[in-house]
Amino acid sequence: MVTTTVIDSAEEKREIISRYRRLLRKAKPILKADDAKRIKRAFTLALEAHKDMRRKSGELFIFHPLTVAEICVEEIGLGTTSIIAALIHDVVEDTDIELSDIERMFGKKIAKIVDGLTKIRGVFEYGTSAQAENFRKMLFTLSEDVRVILIKLADRLHNMRTLDSMPRTKQLKVASETIYLYAPLAHRLGLNAIKTELEDLYLRFTDSEVYRDIANKIDETRASRNKFIKAFVAPLKEEMDKLKVEYEIKSRPKSIFSIYNKMRKQNIPFEEVYDLFAIRIIIDTPLEQEKSYCWQLYSIVTDYYTPNPDRLRDWISTPKANGYESLHTTVMAKNGQWVEVQIRTLRMDEIAEKGYAAHWKYKGNAGTHESNLEKWLVRVRELLEHQDLTALEFVDDFRGNLFNEEVFVFTPKGELKTLPVGATALDFAFEIHTDVGAKCIGAKVNQKLVPINHTLKNGDQIEILTSSKQKPNEDWLRIVVTQKARSKIKDLLREDKRHVADEGKEILQRKLKQLKLEATSQLFEQLRGFFNVNSQFELHYDVGTGKIGLNELKKFKEFKPEGPAKKSGESFGAKLPEKETHIAKGQYDDILLIGEDMDVVEYKLAKCCTPIPGDEVFGFVTVSEGIKIHRTNCSNAPELLSNHNNRVIKAKWTSQHEVAFLTGLKVVGTDRVGLINDVSKIISEELKVNMSSIAFRSDQGIFEGEIMLYVNDTRHLDLLISKLEKVEGVVKVARFDSATIHRQAN
């Protein structure tokens, strides 16, 4: 029996009751008979289970499940089952209450959802992260009940909203997991509002300075933006009133994260981002008249403003795979500014904001669109059937297509197939059938012969050409983009590899006998170490392919030690040349402190983001190159922090010494005689900065230059940038990272 909980503070008790009542008020429209009683029982259980618990912020833990339940109702549109599961989602982990008790009190369905939401504990396969394993388990439950993921997203959203109270390392880990897995998942399930907020919160906690700067600039432009929008919609309203339908015109700026992404990808300042906001016209019309009215509105908008023909997006005729429906056009306003206009109905708007959950409300009315999501869930189930994938491979495959937009293509018989943007003829072949994919040698796209790596476009009609002699190879993994094709190719390659490894095993045993070496476990350990392979399977495979032959085995016999075996990865005999390192031992010992105890240890700077003193950084323990230092806003950071968190360590710059760090600057402007000389003078003479390389290109009066130079820290770099920007003809100066993104988690 559940006992009544006594809360010490009368004020906290009042706040709990107030939040509980607010939850019931918001849930009232969807509650059926007895629902309120069941919710009360779940609330009482949660209150008792978490009575002595507080969050890092100091507030009562019970506020967390209450808020998660509220997000489920208000922001996702879920019902009673989800409210109950959200209220008790941490109970099994935090108390002696077991899943069997949950099943007895609330039924099998809720117990299953809670099981999917309960965090995993225990030892995981080496090299994976608990988070990846946790995510995999959650998706197993998703294949039966999508509400697991929806509640998990509500849980993650509240955790991100309250991340302020967490230590810095925890903030980076949670934020990175969020951008790496949860934001793409929210996107795929059509939860646009939640996806946008998760992305913005990620930026707020990983690069707060950039976040604040963009937020402030959005605020500063609000008054002029509102004035512009009022003038823009005025003539449209007159015409729309004649349609005699209910309509609403909304306008809101693009998210901070999307503006930041645009600035970064196009290397432009805030002022040059032209589509800072979108205007949305929402009409209330019966389902059968939706398409007709939306196109009438499009006609009204384009009568007044000239549209950009390349920017029309019709997601009403062919909705996105996540169910999103809308008509988008970009038009030229009277002041010469491009404006994005989105046209949709009330039903479409609710599905755009609340995604998958909103489909239940319209079930039966929009079956076709719902089936797009169902198809995606079928693909998830297919991927889950591959038990031999490690957790990290699984997560990598799964998230591969989460954010991709779609292309719509046709079979020779006219059947529509939806694939991610960037999909190739080979992806299409595997979409048809595994056997067709495995034997694919090319395709006819719109009657024209193309290779297997041909990228498909909207409206293409594809016929696959096959040959019984064709066999998949490793290069195919670089050609395909769909998770289905990738997993099938990996399966086929594994099967092929197994045959080769089996042959290699027999060959190795024969060769060892020939060399009079006894096949003991110690010998195999020594063989793995000498040939630098991670497993017995790899050893057999290399023998099977001929990479390790009799001559190599003879060399092993010469160098074979008599003592205990060395660890896998260490080599015997001649020492291998050391990998290139940019930091000699001890060179910057007094600059960077690493680990929980802030020790002085050897490290290397990651080439992908080239950190310098003043940057916020973290350390990553690589398999073969020691500790590498990355900037927290490095493009590889989300993956490293979310998937390999057990190999991440604290790092921070300490007292600044006059030590130089290599970084890059991109300079753009209008060409003139003596410009390079002026730029060089400021760098070399005025600021006494050493240059590693300088390259300038000029084309019809526009120049672009890339300078690699040595600076002391971020303040030194900022001073240099501000000086260069004052040079006549220079339009823009920006720091750039290494041109090639290196995958650091090796």
Q: Which residues are annotated as catalytic?
A: 93-94
Residues facing 665 on adjacent strands: 707, 735
Q: Is 595 left (phi over 0), alpha (psi -120 to 50) or beta?
A: left
Extract the tokens encoding 721. Answer: 């940038």
Q: How far apart are CA 287 and CA 659, in angstroms?
A: 67
Q: How many CA atoms lie within 13 A of 495 on its CB side?
A: 9
Extract the tokens encoding 4. Answer: 């009544």
Extract the tokens encoding 327. Answer: 């008509």
- Report the sign of the C-alpha dihedral through residues 33, 36, 41, 46, in that order: positive
Contact 341, 332 (CB under 8 A): no
Q: How far apart are CA 501 and CA 497, in angstroms?
A: 6
In angstroms, how far is CA 96 from the centroid of its own chain?
A: 35
Extract the tokens encoding 427. Answer: 């992806």
Extract the tokens encoding 80. Answer: 């009673």
Residues 6+ apart with CB under 8 A from 272: 266
Extract the tokens encoding 625. Answer: 């190159």
Pairing of β 277-284 and β 246-253: antiparallel
Angle, CA 630 vertex, CA 628 and CA 632 arms, to 5°: 150
Pairing of β 617-621 and β 648-653: antiparallel
Helix/strand/coil (H/E/C) assignment for every residue in 652-703: EECCCCCCCEEEEEEEEEECCCCHHHHHHHHHHHHCCCCEEEEEEEEECCEE
Helix/strand/coil (H/E/C) assignment for every residue in 499-512: HHHHHHHHHHHHHH
CA nearest to 199, candidates 215, 179, 181 = 179
Contact 486, 426 (CB under 8 A): no
Type and span of the H or E element at 470: none
Residue 536: what residue type? Answer: Q
- Report the sign of the C-alpha dihedral through residues 535, 537, 538, 543, in that order: positive
Contact 702, 632 (CB under 8 A): no
Helix/strand/coil (H/E/C) assignment for every residue in 614-648: CCCEEEEECCCCCEEEEECCCCCHHHHHHHCHHHE
CA nearest to 427, candidates 478, 374, 496 = 478
The size of the chain, in residues, is 746
Q: How far apart are CA 580 and CA 709, in angstroms?
A: 20
Q: How many Cβ atoms from other residues are within 10 Å of residue 453's Cβ? A: 15
Q: How far apart are CA 626 and CA 313, in angstroms?
A: 48
**What DSSP string runs through 305-333?**
SEE-GGG-EETTTS--TT----EEEEEE-
Helices (H) and strands (E) in the chain, counts: 30, 20
CA nearest to 420, candidates 490, 367, 486, 326 = 486
